[in-house]
Chains A and B, each alone.
Chain A
Amino acid sequence: DPKIIQKPKYLVAVTGSEKILICEQYLGHNAMYWYRQSAKKPLEFMFSYSYQKLMDNQTASSRFQPQSSKKNHLDLQITALKPDDSATYFCASSQSGGLGAEQFFGPGTRLTVL
């Protein structure tokens, strides 16, 4: 059974619209993350949460808003979508947010903005 679920797997959106990417983890982890992978850049850290609190935000744009309704959920809301937002978005989790904690990645949501 998949331990980290991301929904949907594929997503097509029009420029200017808003989408929510869903992430649920069933590993019992306390820390969750979002990363982005595009053709132009390597895997890029976006956010980290620990015990449902935002710990780090490396996303320059406020159009990206993480939402944690439950300990094992970390959704990503993206508003005013742009073609440059096209990428695969990966959710990850770890037992703790500290040194040595392996981060487990989900299968990703591939977003295409037309």
Chain B
Amino acid sequence: QQKVQQSPESLSVPEGGMASLNCTSSDRNFQYFWWYRQHSGEGPKALMSIFSDGDKKEGRFTAHLNKASLHVSLHIRDSQPSDSALYFCAASDGGGSNAKLTFGKGTKLSVKS
């Protein structure tokens, strides 16, 4: 079973709209979450991390973490065509030097102008 599950698989929103991406972990050892974005032909790039319950806002991006349910979400307001990319949720147990990231399969976001 995939330890980090993302939904939806793909999402299309109009320019200026709100995009909402979801992520759930099935492993309670995962307490630390990241959102990464990957444009076609490039490596993933970190958007933001969230380690505490509640919301974290960075510009147009807001992440929300509920540790009890191991659910993380990412909301992108005022979506731009440049936001079109593959978005990954990644989780870590944060254990010392063993900081491997476990990724979900990703959500493909298309922003239509």
| Partner-B contacts on A (CB < 8 A) | 4, 31, 33, 35, 42-45, 48, 50, 55-56, 58, 90, 92, 94, 96-108
Contacts and interface: CB of A to CB of B under 8 A. Distances in A.
A99 B94 contact: yes
14 contacts: A33-B100, A35-B101, A42-B4, A43-B44, A43-B90, A43-B101, A45-B100, A48-B99, A94-B99, A97-B98, A98-B99, A100-B49, A103-B46, A104-B46
A60 B33 CA distance: 25
Contacts of A58: 100
Contacts of B96: 97-98
Contacts of B67: none
B98 A45 contact: no
Nearest to A106: B43
Interface in B24-42: 32, 34, 36, 41-42
Interface residues of B, number: 29
Given A90-B44, A106-B43, A108-B43, A45 B105 contact: no
A99 B100 contact: no
B97 A45 contact: no
B112 interface: no
B45 interface: yes
Most chain A CB within 10 A, of B41, B101, B102, is at B101
- The 6 A-B pairs at the shortest CB distance, nearest first, are namely A97-B97, A105-B43, A99-B94, A43-B103, A45-B100, A42-B105
